[in-house]
Structure 1
Amino acid sequence: MSAGAAVAAAAEPGSRVTRFAKSTAASVTPVRPGETHTLSPLDNAMELHTVHVVLYCLAAPGLDREQLKESLSEVLSRYPAMTGRLTRREGGEPAQRGWVVKCNDAGLCMVDARAAATLDEWLATATGDEEMDLLYYEPMGPEPYIWTPFYVQLTEFADKSYALGLSCTHIHNDPTAAALFFQAWAAAHRRTTSTYPPFLHAPAFEVSPASPPPPPPLLAEKSSAATPASADAAPMSSATFHFPAPAVRALLSSLEPGTTPFAALAALFWLRITGAADGERELTLALDFRKRMSAPLPLGYYGSVVHFTRARADLASGLPAVAAAVDAHVAGVLEEDLWRAVEWLHARQQQEGGAARPFQMYGPELTCVALDHVPMYDAEFEPARPPRACRAAWAGQPARGW
Structure 2
Amino acid sequence: MKRIRVTGKSTVAAAVPVQPGKTHEFTALDHAMSRHSVHLVFYYRQAPTLTLSKLKESLSDVLSYYPAMTGRLVKNEGDGCGEWIVKCNDAGVRMVDARVDVTLDEFLASASDDEERQLAYLEDVESDPYLWSPFCIQFTQFKDGSMAVGISCTHMHADPTSVGVFAKAWSDCHRRALITSPPFFHPWAFCPRKNPVPSSPHLSVKSTSPPPLPSPAMSSATFIFSASSVTQCLADMSLPDISPFDVLASLLWLRISSYKNGGLGPAQLNVALDCRRRMSAPLPSGFYGNALHFFGVKADLASGWGHVASELSRHMAGLEEEDVWSSVEWLHERRKEKAFQMYGPELTCLAWDNVPVYNTEIDVGVAPVHVTCHIGGAQGEGLVVVMAGPPGEGEHARTVVVTLPTDLTAKICQDDVILKYKPKIMFGTNI
Equivalent residue, structure 2, for 1:348: 334
Equivalent residue, structure 1, for 2:232: 250
Residue identity in the other structure for 2:74:
T
Residue identity in the other structure for 1:151:
C
Question: Which sections of structure 1, spanning at least 5 residues, go unmatched?
Answer: 1-13
CA distance in 2, matches of 1:225, 1:311: 18
The 8 Å contact of residues 198 and 333 in structure 2, kept in 1 or not, is answered as no
Question: Deviation of residue 240 (structure 1)?
Answer: 2.2
CA distance in 2, matches of 1:214, 1:324: 29
The farther-off stretch of 116-125 and 253-262 is 253-262
Alignment deviations for residues 168-212 of structure 1 (CA, whole Å, 9 cap, x no partner): 00011101111121111110100001222211114232337778x
- 1:218 has 2:205 as partner: no
Residue identity in the other structure for 2:167:
F
Q: Show the 5 A alignment for 1:318-357.
A: 318-349=304-335, 351=336, 356-357=337-338
1:114 to 99, 108, 111: 99
Quick one: structure 1 residues 278 and 104, their matched pair in 2 at CA, closer, same or farther if it must change by over 3 Å? Answer: closer
The 8 Å contact of residues 198 and 327 in structure 2, kept in 1 or not, is answered as no
Equivalent residue, structure 2, for 1:207: 192
Equivalent residue, structure 1, for 2:123: 138
Other structure's SS at 1:307 match = strand
Residue identity in the other structure for 2:58:
S
Residue identity in the other structure for 2:298:
R
CA distance in 1, matches of 2:79, 2:64: 31
Quick one: structure 1 residues 88 and 226, their matched pair in 2 at CA, closer, same or farther if it must change by over 3 Å? Answer: farther
TM-score by length of 1: 0.89
The 8 Å contact of residues 45 and 358 in structure 1, kept in 2 or not, is answered as yes
Question: Deviation of residue 233 (structure 1)?
Answer: 6.6
Question: Deviation of residue 97 (structure 1)?
Answer: 4.4
Structural RMSD (CA):
2.3
Equivalent residue, structure 1, for 2:376: 395
CA distance in 1, matches of 2:127, 2:9: 22
Between Structure 1 and Structure 2, how many residues are aligned? 379
The 8 Å contact of residues 235 and 396 in structure 1, kept in 2 or not, is answered as no
CA distance in 2, matches of 1:216, 1:397: 21
CA distance in 2, matches of 1:119, 1:135: 16
Residue identity in the other structure for 1:73:
S
Quick one: structure 1 residues 280 and 205, their matched pair in 2 at CA, closer, same or farther if it must change by over 3 Å? Answer: same
Quick one: structure 1 residues 87 and 171, their matched pair in 2 at CA, closer, same or farther if it must change by over 3 Å? Answer: same
Question: Which sections of structure 2, spanning at least 5 residues, go unmatched?
Answer: 384-401, 404-431
Equivalent residue, structure 1, for 2:298: 312
- 1:239 has 2:221 as partner: yes
Question: Deviation of residue 71 (structure 1)?
Answer: 0.6
Equivalent residue, structure 1, for 2:361: 380
TM-score by length of 2: 0.83
Other structure's SS at 1:23 match = strand
Question: Deviation of residue 215 (structure 1)?
Answer: 4.7
Equivalent residue, structure 1, for 2:349: 368
The 8 Å contact of residues 208 and 346 in structure 1, kept in 2 or not, is answered as no
Alignment deviations for residues 33-63 of structure 1 (CA, whole Å, 9 cap, x no partner): 0001121111111110000000001111111
2:149 to 164, 171, 193: 164
